[in-house]
Structure 1
Amino acid sequence: MNVALLVARRYFFSKKKRNIINIISIIAMIGVGVGTMALIVVLSVFNGLEDLIKSLYGKFDPEIKITALQGKSFEANADLLNRIRQTPGVALITEVIEDNALLRYNDRQMVVKIKGVSDNFFQQNQIDSVIVDGDHRLKRDGKQYALIGRGVQYQLSIRPENPFSPLQFLYPKAGKKTIINPENAFRQIGIQAGGVFAIERQYDDQYVFVPLAFAQELLGYENKRTSIEVKTHNPANIDKVQAALQRTLGAGFQVLNSEQQHVSLLRAVKVEKLFVFVTFTFVLLIASINIFFSLSMLVLDKQKDIAILASMGADPGTIRRIFLTEGAIVAFTGAFVGLAVGGAICWIQQTYGLVSMGMTTSVVEAYPVLMRPMDFLLTAAAIILITLLVSIRPARKAAAISVRDHL
């Protein structure tokens, strides 16, 4: 029989008197429960935001992106492209030319990112699923079209497929130093807007997709490319394909997976989540101070009981375990309720989306929530550590009580 657990349960569930010690224990239990619930909910919201970011960028970004380690472009000759295609696991490659250009539409203008892509670009991603107006195809009936972001459309008041008002792109000509007419310093080409996409504001407000040949002509890149986008046969093997491509291409290229393409943003989310975890852990520690007070008062109240147990043969270790167990019962009861309620709140939000983002332009209607077992495990570990910290001193004081002085 576990004497420490038996006595601790007796102290905790005793109904003979409800004094200040019981009240403090209940307050401690409620504090731990509320703190645990809040921690689980907040961590799950951060998980949801991280997952949302990945899913949004997944519609735009390739599984693997190859860029030059130095400079913004590289020579994409047939040998290089063949080496990439023949790498095990590579299913598809898309050539990309991306640069800034000036876009004019009627009497308005703005600087945009023009992204010229080869014909198989839409086999790489899901942009065709986020078209809000027009058609996503960049070539139709032998004619070239541009696909513009919704933010670009709003800023320039662009009407897709309007044959009377094409988009005019301007890009500086290389090597022009002394020019009397500023207009001659730019290469200018027109193209009709064929469709509008809406992914995320960062992209919607600046990106315009055009056929690769159009970008080559406008930007004068010829055989140079700013990146090669790669689709794999099996997404589960992306890391292996990435490593194989890096070995094939050598040190002059960067081979980035989807997370590495946005490493700063995702790292910022993870750092914020870490700070939130640390902050709420301190909140739990403060809430658990009530456990320290209740145990300290319980030791004073039960001095005679402790002396009797000691006289009956209970060693100091057993006395310590009684009060450590008492603190654990208070903390773990609150923590269990907090974990259960926090998990239930997250499940309700995931299933029914009760809490709205409150923005009509938001990409999701409700706050994204994603529960992860590791968050529950880390929270439980933090509570165990905190319980030990606040319980060990009262337990030592109890074990040090003199039998002679209290009998």
Structure 2
Amino acid sequence: MRLPFSLFVGLRYTRAKRRDHFISFISLISMIGIALGVMVLITVMSVMNGFERELRDRILGMAPHVLVSNIGGPIQDWQNLEQRVLQNPGVVGASPYIQSETMFQHLGQDHFGLMQGVLPEKVGEVTVVKDNMRNGSFDSLKEGSYNVILGASLARRLSANVGDKVTLMFLKESRITIAGINPRAKRFTVSGIFETKSEADKGLAFVHLNDAAKILRIRDGVSALQLKTQDVMKVHEVTESLNQALDYNYFVTNWTRQHQTLFNAIEMEKRIMFILLTFIIAVAAFNIVTSLVMLVNEKQADIAILRTLGASPGSILRIFMTSGIINGIIGTGAGVILGVLLALNLPGIVNWLEVTFNMSVFPKDVYFINFLPTELLPDDVIKIASAAFGISVLATLYPSWKASRTQPAEALRYE
């Protein structure tokens, strides 16, 4: 198959040996620079995607996607409300709970947190706590047993283990007597410890729903109804639908009210990182400009001969654009291959470094995870490759335009 004239000559110029080896060196540097920029950008974006995924899974694994509460106080007929909300096609699970601010006491250690009274058979429909039990079983929360399941960090601060007695004090239920304020308190037995590696580990404890109701003197009611949606990113549609379906005295909110700012900040960081690292590719592309300008100066006589033989300025422009674009394609392609391989194998590489050099990249007491997460998204790879290729094309325009403006008589004057 015969190649177009401009493409054929451009490929010849790319493969041909240069009289000035410095041009070849600059061309090689431009390809290496683009490849490194693309590789780093793909790897960094994959790591940030991985952190966002882990954060989302851990936060939204414990937080309700949608929360339905009663404006006037506890929800009395929560069973009927549960049946109504489950009729919504976007809702896949519901669990009632009673919540109260609590002070936990054990062996002279005090810590403030939240107590949630839940039904063990339903809580697994909306959270991942039952799948993250470190000790004991969540089903140990039997009505009347006054058992409590603590978060791992909370248990560590209280020096409490399974089988220990922990005192829960409810300050809002305090009684004022002559002797002073007398908060309501109850001793619970630790029957389990959960660890989700999220903020819930630091200050959340679970008891049976009816035990919490007795202590807080809530008759046949719950604080709110936690819901899990089929698609966590479509909670606004579910919220709007429930607001229209339920009575005016119910207040429906979702996870974005509390956590959306955090995820918006992560997205902003990703965009800023993308822009900053794209500058690395842009700097490397300047080497394409340099190498093409030098190539144009070296090929002045060739350009003049081609123009004399009838080549149009447009053909000359396309010849040198082809030469520069090939450098961009090679650099971008190599960067994509290296970046994808590095992103897919980075967790294993980091783990090998930790074992080999006996170090910890992510200490457990500092970070919520102890490994390097990555998530390679095809859309990111396409955007990065497109940006690198686009920058490479732009870098060829000026030198190629300069070549197309060459006058044959001027170029051959000193030949």
CA distance in 2, matches of 1:305, 1:226: 84
* Counterpart AA for 1:253: F
Which of 26, 49, 57 lines up with 2:28 in the alignment?
Answer: 26
Gaps of 5+ in 1: none
Q: Do 1:349 and 1:355's aligned partners in 2 also have CA atoms closer than 8 Å?
A: no
- 1:363–1:372 CA distance, 2 compared to 1 (3 A): same
Q: Which residue of 1 aligns with 2:11?
A: 9
Which of 41-50 and 212-221 deviates more?
212-221
Report SS of the residue matched to 1:169. strand
Report the CA distance between 1:13 and its aligned residue: 1.1
Q: Do 1:245 and 1:255's aligned partners in 2 also have CA atoms closer than 8 Å?
A: no
- 1:112–1:354 CA distance, 2 compared to 1 (3 A): same
Q: Which residue of 2 aligns with 1:167?
A: 167
Which of 389, 397, 404 lines up with 1:399 in the alignment?
Answer: 404
Report the CA distance between 1:395 and its aligned residue: 1.3
- 1:34–1:86 CA distance, 2 compared to 1 (3 A): closer
Q: Which residue of 1 aligns with 2:206?
A: 209
Matched, 1:387 2:388: no
Which of 283, 291, 296 lines up with 1:294 in the alignment?
Answer: 291
Q: Which residue of 2 aligns with 1:157?
A: 159
Report the CA distance between 1:134 and its aligned residue: 2.0
CA distance in 2, matches of 1:397, 1:292: 11
Q: Do 2:67 and 2:224's aligned partners in 1 also have CA atoms closer than 8 Å?
A: yes
Q: Do 1:138 and 1:211's aligned partners in 2 also have CA atoms closer than 8 Å?
A: no
CA distance in 2, matches of 1:230, 1:388: 51
Report the CA distance between 1:127 and its aligned residue: 1.5
**Number of residue pairs aligned between Structure 1 and Structure 2:** 398
Gaps of 5+ in 2: 355-359
- 1:225–1:33 CA distance, 2 compared to 1 (3 A): same
Matches within 5 A, 1:2-401: 2-15=4-17, 17=19, 19-62=21-64, 64-68=65-69, 75-78=75-78, 80-88=81-89, 90-119=91-120, 120-140=122-142, 142-162=144-164, 165-173=165-173, 180-184=178-182, 186-219=183-216, 222=219, 225-231=222-228, 241=238, 243-249=240-246, 253-256=251-254, 262-349=259-346, 354=352, 358-359=361-362, 361=364, 365-401=370-406
Report the CA distance between 1:213 and its aligned residue: 2.5
User: Cα deviations across residues 176-203 of structure 1 (Å, max 9, x unaligned)?
Assistant: 6x7543442x222222111101112411
CA distance in 2, matches of 1:172, 1:42: 48
Which of 329-338 and 354-363 deviates more?
354-363
What is the TM-score of this pair, normalised by structure 1?
0.87
Identity of aligned residues (%): 26
* Counterpart AA for 2:179: N
Q: Do 1:31 and 1:334's aligned partners in 2 also have CA atoms closer than 8 Å?
A: yes
User: Cα deviations across residues 329-363 of structure 1 (Å, max 9, x unaligned)?
Assistant: 11110110011011111222367754656345266
What is the TM-score of this pair, normalised by structure 2?
0.85
Which of 241-250 and 6-15 deviates more?
241-250
CA distance in 1, matches of 2:35, 2:61: 39
CA distance in 2, matches of 1:289, 1:26: 12
User: Cα deviations across residues 69-118 of structure 1 (Å, max 9, x unaligned)?
Assistant: 979x6645355444224334545421123332211123221101222223
* Counterpart AA for 1:11: Y
* Counterpart AA for 2:329: F
User: Cα deviations across residues 152-211 of structure 1 (Å, max 9, x unaligned)?
Assistant: 11111112223xx3333222237x6x7543442x22222211110111241111111122
* Counterpart AA for 2:317: R
CA distance in 2, matches of 1:290, 1:235: 47
CA distance in 2, matches of 1:170, 1:236: 33
